[in-house]
Structure 1
Amino acid sequence: MTHEESDSERWDVIVVGAGPAGCAAAVAACRTRPGARVLLLDRSDFPRDKVCGDGIAAEAFDVLAELGMDAAAIADGYPPVERLRLAAPGGTEVERPLARPAHVIPRRVLDARIVAEALRQGVVLRQHAVRSVESTPDGVTVDGLRADVVVGADGAESVVRRALHPAPPAGTVALAFRAYADEPAGQTGTQVITMTSAHWPAYAWSFPDGTGRANVGYGEVLTAAPPSRAAMLERWDALAPAGGPRDALRAHRLPLSTGRPPIPDGRILLVGDAQCLINPLTGEGIFYAVRSGQLAGRAALAGARAGTLYRRAMRGALGRHFRHTTLLARGTRAPRIIDAAVRACRRDQRVFDDLLRIGLADGLLTPRLVTGLRR
């Protein structure tokens, strides 16, 4: 595409980043106004890898289905994961069935399938690494491409976010290592999370995908300068001696929702990791990604009022949930609170379900969960 060709183009919506958040935004815009000119830009070709735990909650598939995507086709070949085992910092363990089965799908597969669903619904995709975003009175310019509204879905290191906000504040970013390994013996159909009071909040995970492989890793919230690779590996090995293949290890920063920037008025919207939408309790981000993308895409057709409408939609859909997760994240700075929660989960399946709903989707602090935490 020449400069002259790009400069002459005008789009209703340009979405930067073709991960789940960006695809959800682009599809939502197309469905809100059939015939809308929606362009999806991504620096990578698909399929491509993305550092992630790969666990996909059922509620994320609900949003994809609302967007007209074939959730069954997206999950094809990766059977449901029906159980979760939690080990608290103090050593208490609980294993229970999930209220709704999850899936573990490598992001190389998941994202490519979601992109295919977006293209099927009329979204235009181009491979392009965005370098500049400039807001003008009548629109937004992205490297010479012009649009009424731009949606930034370009991840934790978002170029679009840097045009609006400074870096997330200290204490609201996590760092995680991830690798792939053979599925541990006896773990078929069960996700495992092992927490530790050392360097809290921190945990290791092992998520089998049903194909004989497992996503394994370790993450912790950064309260000071990032630890060295050797220190992170030592902490990981202390929790999960099996570890993972060191030659395939990749790291990723996770901007937590406790440090999310305000949503401003105007024509530039942020979704998913770019909006710092990572659950501070679990590190989960796929549900937030597709839900925020869905809401932003619907608002994006409103031009100069897009930011206002998106802010209201996010407040209505997730505002109370965010307040509860922030309160719970503050309350669980003491590992003993998590110990109490896991003990409560051992006593009552409903408490387990409540804890998972707030950690993986849009749940709230229920009275029985609060009672369990107090005990």
Structure 2
Amino acid sequence: MARDEPGRDPEAWDLVVVGAGPAGAAAALGALAAEPGLRVLLLDRADFPRDKCCGDGIAPHVLDVLRTVGAGHVVDGWTPLEQLELSREDRSVTGRMARPVWVVPREVFDARLVEAAVAAGAVLRRHRVRTLAAHAGGTLVDDHLLARVLVGADGAHSVVRTHLGEPNAGRRALALRGYAPTPDSRRGRQVIRYGDRRQPSYAWAFDRGDGLSNVGYGEFVDDHAGPDDEGVTRAILLEQLERLLPGSTEGGTQWRAHHLPLSGWRWDQPDGAVLLAGDAAGLINPMTGEGIYYAVATGVLAGRTAARVLAADEPEQAGRAHRAAVRSLLGRHLHHTWLASRLTRRPEVVDAGIGAAGRSRHAFDALVELGLGDGRITPRLAAGLATELVRGTRPTSSTRPTTRTPRR
């Protein structure tokens, strides 16, 4: 877009959302569901549909949120999955999840969310945001767009986060994803196999239901870096994926890698009329790398907050209100995922989790909630983990691999 002529008033919007991925589209939907007459502008540097490195798993929690803003249809036509398999070395558990998940390529999922936001009244423009500046009427975007409230949903390398002076998330993971034919042994299920390089690390294979699976491997990269660190290369990521899930790279295409800014113990949001959501807010589950639920949930909260403060003509209150809303929803959950990610650096804790999930339906369900939604380490889950640690979950080398269905 060409810049306005010198001296010309900037183009004014009630809400400008930088980034039109799940967090940004959800922010637009949240705002327009609350106040349909708002002038909402969605900016993204790419055209849609566009691909993005991701496991593509859409948890039921995501749809719970999207239904509240009229976008629960985004998984229509895709096959729900009910089976989840967790394993490490010769320990394994397979069970039916309490609620199904969907595996929808981001090319499809993100485009459908953007279409829903536009249908609700948002304006979508392709534009790469480079500069932000304070202005008497709000935030000036690239000298020619004026936002009374601005939402940063522009991903891990967020321009908006940098503008706010917020430090980047301290811990990061690196993941590689591709699409490969689904073998008969993995049809109808999500498969996660934990590795042994940088804990926690895992390979995955998620059946899309159309003959292909989303396959990938990810591991932490920051906490282990040192002067003799060999680094994490594409070749290493592919090697680990093939080692953990043999045959999963055969016929694979569309390989893409991506850094993930992982959530910490405490989440913050500065005061003022600029909000953060999703990856830009450093909200990715540090135990699993899942980020779509956080993106959609915090995006909708940001949109609703924007609508409320604009209606009250108090845009400067947006940051305080958004901070309170996100902490109310995710605060305790983030404490528990931070703790879980620390504990699962130890292989024996991963084994204990698999063992507890095989012995207890509650433990299986609690682990799914902790990894995919807003769950917590419940007392019963903690007791199950402690029992398994005392028992010693690793069988001897002569013991046959154990596969369990969680007991009720």
Query: Which moved further from structure 2: 160-169 or 208-217?
Result: 160-169
Q: 1:228 aligns with which of 233, 236, 244?
A: 233
Q: What is the deviation of 1:105? A: 0.2
Unmatched runs of 5 consecutive residues or more in structure 2: 310-314, 388-408
Moved more, 98-107 or 323-332: 323-332
> Does the aligned pair in 2 maintain the 1:168–1:259 contact within 8 Å?
no
Q: Is the 8 A contact 2:203 2:240 kept in 1?
A: no
C-alpha distance in structure 1 between counterparts of 2:198 and 2:10, whole Å: 53
State the partner residue of 2:386.
374
Corresponding residue SS for 1:103: strand
CA drift of 1:316 comes to 0.9
Q: Which residue of 1 aligns with 2:112?
A: 113
Contact 2:179 2:253 in 1 (8 A): no
Which residue among 325, 342, 349 is the counterpart of 1:330?
A: 342
* Kept after mapping to 2: 8 A contact 1:151/1:268: yes
Q: Secondary structure at the match of 1:333?
A: coil
Alpha-carbon separation, structure 2, partners of 1:281 and 1:261:
16
Residue 277 of structure 1: aligned partner: 283
Contact 1:28–1:297, Cα closer than 8 Å, also in 2? yes
Q: What secondary structure does 2:86 align onto?
A: strand
Give the distance between the partners of 1:231 and 1:327, measured in 2 at CA: 28
Q: For 1:279, what is the secondary structure of its paired residue?
A: coil
CA contact (8 A) 1:260 1:276 kept: no
CA distance in 2 between counterparts of 1:159 and 1:264 reads: 15
> Are positions 1:36 and 2:38 aligned together?
yes
Offset of residue 8 of structure 1? 3.1
Contact 2:86/2:93 (<8 A) preserved: yes
* Counterpart Cα distance in 2 of 1:260 and 1:18: 26
**1:350 correspondence with 2:362:** yes
Match of 2:146 in 1: 146
For residue 186 of structure 1, give the secondary structure of its aligned residue in structure 2. Answer: helix
Are the counterparts in 1 of residues 179 and 252 from structure 2 also a CA contact under 8 Å?
A: no
- SS of the residue aligned with 1:95? strand
Aligned-partner Cα distance in 1 for 2:266–2:78: 32
Q: Secondary structure at the match of 2:173?
A: strand
- 1:66 and 1:192 map into 2 onto residues whose CA distance is 30
Comparing 114-123 with 229-238, greater Cα deviation is found at 229-238
* CA distance in 1 between partners of 2:306 and 2:296 (Å): 15
Q: Does the CA contact (< 8 Å) of 1:296 and 1:310 recur in 2?
A: yes
Asked whether the 8 Å contact 1:7–1:146 carries over to 2, the reply is no
Aligned equivalents of 2:196 and 2:235: distance in 1? 19
Unaligned 5+ segments in structure 1 are: none
Question: How far 1:160 moved relative to its partner?
Answer: 1.2
User: Cα deviations across residues 310-368 of structure 1 (Å, max 9, x unaligned)?
Assistant: 00001111111111111222222212111101101001112100110011000111111
Quote the Cα distance in structure 2 between the aligned partners of 1:218 and 1:31: 37
1:17–1:153 Cα contact (<8 Å) kept: yes
The match for 2:374 is: 362
**Separation (CA, whole Å) in 1 of partners of 2:267 and 2:135:** 21
**Map of 2:256 onto structure 1:** 250
Query: Contact 1:83–1:97 (CA<8 Å) still a contact in 2?
Result: yes
Please say if residues 135 and 267 of structure 1, whose CA atoms lie closer than 8 Å, have aligned partners that are also in contact: no
Q: Deviation digits for residues 12-50 of structure 1, max 9, x if unmatched?
A: 110011111101101111122221111100111111111
Q: CA deviation at 1:9?
A: 1.2
TM-score, normalised by the number of residues in structure 1: 0.95
RMSD of the TM alignment (CA)? 1.7
- Residue 206 of structure 2 contacts residue 213 of structure 2 at CA under 8 Å; is this kept in 1? yes
Q: CA separation of 1:247/1:188 partners in 2, compared to 1, >3 Å: closer, same or farther? A: closer
What do residues 49-81 of structure 1 show as CA deviations (whole Å, max 9, x unaligned)? Answer: 111000110110110101111x2x311221100
Determine the structure 2 residue equivalent to 1:96. Answer: 95
Distance 1:363 1:261, change over 3 A: closer
1:178 counterpart residue number: 177
Give the partner amino acid of 1:162: T
Shift of 1:260: 7.0
| TM-score, normalised by the number of residues in structure 2 | 0.87
Instruction: Judge conservation of contact 1:153–1:272 (CA < 8 Å) in 2.
Output: yes
State the SS of the aligned residue for 2:264: helix
- Which position in structure 2 is the counterpart of 1:8? 10
Whole-angstrom distance in 2 between the partners of 1:145 and 1:363:
40
Q: How many residues align?
A: 370
**What amino acid sits opposite 1:54 in the alignment?**
D
Find the counterpart in structure 1 of residue 295 from structure 2.
Answer: 289
- Report the equivalent of 2:271: 265
Question: Are 2:69 and 1:57 equivalent residues in the alignment?
Answer: no
Code of the aligned partner of 1:279: N
When structure 1 is superposed on structure 2, of 95-104 and 143-152 the one drifting more is 143-152
Deviation, 1:261, is: 5.6
The equivalent of 1:122 in structure 2 is 121
The answer (yes or no) to whether the contact 1:259–1:276 under 8 Å persists in 2 is no
CA deviation map 1:154-207 (0-9, x unaligned):
1111111121223322xx100000000001222221010000223221100000
1:320 equivalent in structure 2 = 332
Alignment match, 1:216: 215
Structure 1 distance, partners of 2:124, 2:290, is: 26
The AA in structure 2 aligned to 1:13 is: L
SS at match of 2:184: coil
1:7/1:243 Cα in 2 relative to 1: closer, same or farther (>3 Å)? farther
The one-letter code matched in structure 1 to 2:210 is T
> Do the aligned partners of 1:74 and 1:113 also contact (CA within 8 Å) in 2?
yes
SS at the partner of 2:47?
coil
Q: Which amino acid aligns with 2:297?
A: R
Is the 2:267–2:331 contact (alpha carbons within 8 Å) kept by the matching residues of 1?
A: no
SS in 2 for 1:51: coil
Fraction of identical pairs, as percent:
50
